A and B are shown apart, each in its own frame.
Chain A
Amino acid sequence: EAQVTQNPRYLITVTGKKLTVTCSQNMNHEYMSWYRQDPGLGLRQIYYSMNVEVTDKGDVPEGYKVSRKEKRNFPLILESPSPNQTSLYFCASSSGFDGYTFGSGTRLTVV
């Protein structure tokens, strides 16, 4: 089944403790992206990648890092999480000719 898989689905962590949210797609898509979803603000793009080793900042990249060493994986790294990064995160991928396919989301709480 064609899908985008994110892990974990839920995560509670403490301020400053590095964490990684994994994202994997099995559709051989070139484009991958991370979004955060907050009430009243909709979805805002954090980072996106157009191909292996090609990444660029979205609208809200501060406090996040990404890497794209393989086509299928696009992890999101929070080196020092803070409470304002508490949010619902979505990974998505696209072939570039259709809209994005989204993962199930990761609900992150930073205390």
Chain B
Amino acid sequence: AQRVTQPEKLLSVFKGAPVELKCNYSYSGSPELFWYVQYSRQRLQLLLRHISRESIKGFTADLNKGETSFHLKKPFAQEEDSAMYYCALSDRGSTLGRLYFGRGTQLTVWP
């Protein structure tokens, strides 16, 4: 079974502080990991996928297979980063249609 765990429901930091949103997964196959962001009253948007190794809006995430983690990090948080963040896992094998989400972390960046 695939499982994605985001241990923090809420996370608050001050502007300019570093931020790390945790994501752990449980999967025996070859997963593909994503981070999605949902700003207030908007649709989910793809923020990062692990295989592209991009940095989007200053965010990065590294897949750590040993720790089965895919934490999202940003060195200097901005107020506009306040949003709900979801970690998601997809099986690139037989179930390409399935994308499993964690329960999300609500990030608030205070001025």
Contacts from A to B (Cβ < 8 Å): 31, 33, 35, 40-45, 48-50, 56, 58, 90, 92, 94, 96, 98-105
Contact at A40–B97, with CB atoms within 8 Å? no
How many inter-chain residue pairs (CB < 8 Å) link A and B? 57
Contact at A48–B98, with CB atoms within 8 Å? yes
In the complex with contacts A40-B9, A42-B104, A43-B86, A99-B43 CB distance below 8 A: no
Q: How far is the CA of A66 from the CA of B100 in the complex (A)?
A: 19
Asked if B17 CB lies within 8 Å of chain A CBs, one says no
Bitwise, B43-64 to A at CB < 8 A (1) or not (0) is 1111001000000000000000
B-side interface residues, number (CB < 8 Å) = 22
In the complex with contacts A98-B49, A99-B49, A42-B101 CB distance below 8 A: yes
Interface of A is mostly: strand
Contact at B44–A45, with CB atoms within 8 Å? no
Asked if B69 CB lies within 8 Å of chain A CBs, one says no
Contact at A33–B97, with CB atoms within 8 Å? yes
Q: How far is the CA of A33 from the CA of B43 in the complex (A)?
A: 14
Chain B residues near A31: list those with CB within 8 A.
Answer: 96-97
Chain A residues near B96: list those with CB within 8 A.
Answer: 31, 50, 94, 96
In the complex, what residue of chain A is closest to B48 when comparing beta carbons?
A: A99
A-B contact pairs, 22 of them (CB 8 A): A31-B96, A35-B101, A42-B6, A43-B86, A43-B101, A43-B104, A44-B101, A58-B98, A90-B44, A92-B44, A94-B96, A94-B97, A94-B99, A98-B46, A99-B34, A99-B49, A99-B99, A100-B46, A100-B99, A102-B45, A104-B43, A105-B43
Q: Tell me the minimal C-beta distance from A31 to chain B in angstroms.
A: 5
Asked if B88 CB lies within 8 Å of chain A CBs, one says yes
Contact at A33–B99, with CB atoms within 8 Å? yes
Chain A residues near B104: list those with CB within 8 A.
Answer: 42-43
Bitwise, B86-104 to A at CB < 8 A (1) or not (0) is 1010100000111111111
Q: How far is the CA of A56 from the CA of B46 in the complex (A)?
A: 24
Q: Tell me the minimal C-beta distance from A103 to chain B in angstroms.
A: 6
In the complex with contacts A50-B96, A50-B97, A102-B103 CB distance below 8 A: no
